A and B are shown apart, each in its own frame.
Chain A
Amino acid sequence: MGGWRVKAKEALAQMSIAARFLCLLHVANNYLVSPTLVYGPSMLPTLNLTGDVVLSEHFSHRFGRVRPGDLVLLRLPVDPAKIAIKRIVGMEGDRVTFFDSNATDLLQTLVVPKGHVWIQGDNPYASRDSRHFGPVPYGLIQGRAFLRVWPLSSFGSLEQ
């Protein structure tokens, strides 16, 4: 009769340990550092086509410490469910020059508006970025990638 009570207590204790571990993992992932698998051709040659695991920190952008040249994770303005990794080319107030996405020999210049950033993929031929959907609000930035951990042959810092 009391057997199942003891077992239930034990199960609850184990579950609470698991829950606390998941909490810690969640906090670390969202506010400290998290690993992310990124893939696609838009950041060649910096990141591989078939996928890299990068470590990204999630606190610099909360203090405004994001600079041109940083690799950032951000929510795409055209698809809020997707998170992409791109490089920041200009901050608010900067004048950016780029080749028009439609007519690739036409050079365009614009000033990045307040509260926005201009992002581009390192591979301009296969990247949908600010040249297509315009400057991105700073609030969409989720984190800053600083270290590649997989594949091991290209383990190393992503800073410039």
Chain B
Amino acid sequence: MGVRNNVTVFLNFAKEGFDKAVLVGKLCCCVHVVNTYFCSVVLAYGPSMLPTISTSSSLLLAERFSHRFNKVDPGDIVILRSPEVPRKIVTKRVIGLEGDRVTYVVDPNNSDKSDTVVVPKGHIWIEGDNIYNSYDSRNFGAVPFGLLQGKVFWRIWPLKDFGSLRRRAK
């Protein structure tokens, strides 16, 4: 009789635990869906987007749907999968879309030589705002549009820089 009581208690406990786990699972699903299809938080660090984004870690908000409808324009800051390290997501600015003629300084640290290239079909040209210290399309060429993951539109950390990162007026 004592054993049956214990078993019942245990089963109740297990059921409650399972229910809570299902709830947590549903919450995680929700967070994941919002992250992948609406808006996600991006941790950006590194010097390649100075002065727009500081070297130390910043938290940015990136929306994840414009690129699915091709609504990406030159001047937008985008997040994309690095063409060389597929697990890494990098933050850069779009300089040219397919068909655009892009002129860029090849190696601003050492010379003034510039080069012009036409962005091939299905690709985009990205550069960091800090061309002296940025590994971007000037190094690995135009990247396929399919690697884009989203468009950055807002900075939430550090708080003193809280605000919009919308396209610069050209």
A80–B33 CA distance with the chains assembled, in angstroms:
22
Q: How far is the CA of A75 from the CA of B148 in the complex (A)?
A: 12
What count of chain A residues pass the 8 Å CB interface test? 17
Q: Are B86 and A137 in contact (CB under 8 A)?
A: yes
* Residue in B29, B33, B121, B144 whose beta carbon sits within 8 Å of that of A137 in the complex: B144
Tell me the interface secondary structure of chain A in the complex. mixed
Closest residue of chain A to B123, judged by CB? A77
Q: Is the CB of B86 within 8 A of A75?
A: no
Total A-B Cβ pairs within 8 A: 47
Complex CA distance for A138 and B83, rounded to whole angstroms? 7
Are B81 and A137 neighbours in the complex by a CB distance under 8 Å? yes
A30: nearest chain-B partner, CB-CB: B36
Residue A139 at the chain B interface, CB threshold 8 Å: yes
Q: Does B17 contact A (CB under 8 A)?
A: no
Known interface pairs A139-B147, A140-B144, A140-B147; A77-B122 also in contact (CB < 8 Å)? yes
Looking at A52-60, A97-105, A110-118, A122-130, the stretch in contact with chain B turns out to be A110-118
Instruction: Assess the B82–A115 pair: CB atoms within 8 A.
Output: yes
Indicate if the CB atoms of A80 and B144 lie closer than 8 Å: yes
For residue B121, which residues in chain A have a CB less than 8 angstroms away from its CB?
78-79
- Which residues on the B side are within 8 Å of A114 (C-beta)? 84-85
